[in-house]
Amino acid sequence: MNFMAARVSGLAPSKWMKATATFYGGSDAAGTMGGACGYGNLYTQGYGTNTAALSTQLFLNGATCGECYQLKCRDDLVPQWCISGATVTITATNYCPPNYALPNNAGGWCNPPRKHFDMAQPAWGQIGKDFRAGIIPVLFQRVPCYKSGAGGVRFTVNGFNYWELVLVTNVAGPGSVKYMSIKGSNTNWLPMVRNWGANWQTSAYLNGQSLTFRVTATDGQTLLFPDIVNSNWQFGQTFSSSVQFN
C-alpha cells in the first residue's frame, strides 16, 4: 500500500496568550471520557489524562479537536497556587459550554469571550499547587502534537448505508483536520463535512468498496490514504494507517 504526503507548511509553537484554567473528571480523569470531540475512551485512544475541555472562544465548533496546547500557571500573579516553572501539554478533547446563569465570579468560567481550559484533574495538578484554588490564571500556546509509538492516523467508519460518519483520531503535528474527502473504489472524490467534533460525514452508498481518504490538516499538510479501508469493511470498524502528519 502506497501512502503519499504533501507537506505544505509546518506548525511552530504560537505566542503565549492569557487564559484561565479549572479541572474536572476526578483524580483518574474517568469523568473526562467521551466528550464533544467524539474520541470516546481517551485511555484506549491514546490521549490519556493530559486533556482539556475548551471554552467557546477556543473550541470553535469542534475545529480545534485534537490540537495540543502547552500551559503554565501565572506564578507572577498567584504564586501560592502555582508550581513554579512547571508546564503541561494537553490535547483538546471536549467542549466546556457556557453557563449564562452564572456570572464569571460564580463559576461561569467558560462563558464568552473568556479563553478557558477545563483540564482533566491530573493535568491541572501538574501546574497547579493546590486543588483548593479551583481556578488559576494561565498562559498558553499552541504546540505540535507528538504521537510517538502510537502509529499513524486512524479512521473509524460509522453510519448506515447511504451515510458515512468517519471519526479521525491519533493526528500528530497540527492535531486537527481542516478538510477531508473520501473516494470509493467505484466513485469519484466526494467531499466530507464536519458533523461534530472530529467526525466527518458524506452521503453515498460505499458498501463493498475499498475507501481512500484525503486529509488536509489545519497547517496545510495533506496526506493521502489509498485503500486504507478494505472492501469488506463493516460499520463500527477502525482502520489504522502507518503514516502520520509531521
* Domain locations along the chain: 12-143, 154-240
**CB-based burial of residue 108 (10 Å sphere; 0-12 exposed, 13-18 middle, 19+ buried)?**
middle
Verdict on whether the full-model pTM lies above 0.75: yes
Mean pLDDT, residues 117-145 taken together: 97
Determine phi and psi for 235, rounding to 5 degrees: -60, 140
Domain 12-143 listed as CATH 2.40.40.10: yes
**Residue range 154-171: average pLDDT?**
97
What confidence score (pLDDT) does residue 105 get? 63
Task: Say whether domain 154-240 belongs to CATH 2.60.40.760.
Answer: yes
Residue 79 has pLDDT above 50, yes or no: yes
Report the pLDDT value the prediction gives residue 149, as an integer from 0 to 100. Answer: 74
Average pLDDT over the chain, rounded to whole?
93
Least reliable range by pLDDT among 90-94, 106-110, 119-123 = 106-110
3-state DSSP assignment of residue 30: helix
Task: Determine the pLDDT at residue 7.
Answer: 36
* Residues 6+ positions from 5 with CB-CB distance below 8 Å: 221, 222, 223, 224, 243
Please report the sign of the dihedral spanned by the C-alpha atoms of residue 57, residue 58, residue 64, residue 65.
negative
Percent of the chain with pLDDT over 70: 93
Is the pLDDT at 103 greater than 80, yes or no?
A: no
Contact 11/144 with Cβ under 8 angstroms? yes
pLDDT over 90 percentage in the chain: 87
